[in-house]
């Protein structure tokens, strides 16, 4: 049984930082693409950062230079380092994983991911 469990969300002021973690069980990050998605109230879920099996990935333009996705492959933990947070970064953040090719760009759409965590809330106040 696959489980993804996020943690690290919270309330911060604009300009602050947070580190989100996602611990996976029942699958291996060696053989999956992974990503962080977020959803704000009234908006569609969007990709924030995704990572391929080769470690390469993509970052949404809105968070480039502020957010970094990384992983501890041995421990099956995915991270999202978030700096210089803005109020528009607020939302529920989800960790996701799916089987994918050994190389090539990871999927960017939420429907392309098979496994999801329950989400962790991030609130940034101005």
- Under the banding of pLDDT at 50, 70 and 90, the label for residue 57 is confident
pLDDT (mean) for 62-78? 96
How high is the pLDDT of residue 121? 98
CA 49 to chain centre: 6
User: Nearest to residue 83, comparing CAs of 17, 21, 8, 12?
Assistant: 17
Kindly report, residue by residue over 19-46, the tens digit of the pLDDT. Answer: 999 999 999 999 999 999 999 989 999 9
Residues 6+ apart with CB under 8 A from 71: 29, 34, 51, 55, 77, 78, 79
CA-CA distance, 126 to 34, in Å (whole number)? 30
Hey, CA dihedral for 40, 85, 65, 104, is it positive or negative?
negative
């Amino acid at each position: 049984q696959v489980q993804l469990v996020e943690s690290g969300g919270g309330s911060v002021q604009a300009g602050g930082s947070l580190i989100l973690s996602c611990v996976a069980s029942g699958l291996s990050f060696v053989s999956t693409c992974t990503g962080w998605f977020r959803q704000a109230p009234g908006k569609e879920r969007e990709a924030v950062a995704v990572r391929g099996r080769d470690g390469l990935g993509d970052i949404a333009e809105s968070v480039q230079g502020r957010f970094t996705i990384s992983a501890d492959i041995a421990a099956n933990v995915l991270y999202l380092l978030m700096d210089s947070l803005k109020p528009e970064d607020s939302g529920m953040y989800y960790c996701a994983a799916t089987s994918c090719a050994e190389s090539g760009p990871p999927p960017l759409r939420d429907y392309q991911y098979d496994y999801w965590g329950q989400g962790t809330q991030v609130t940034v106040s101005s």
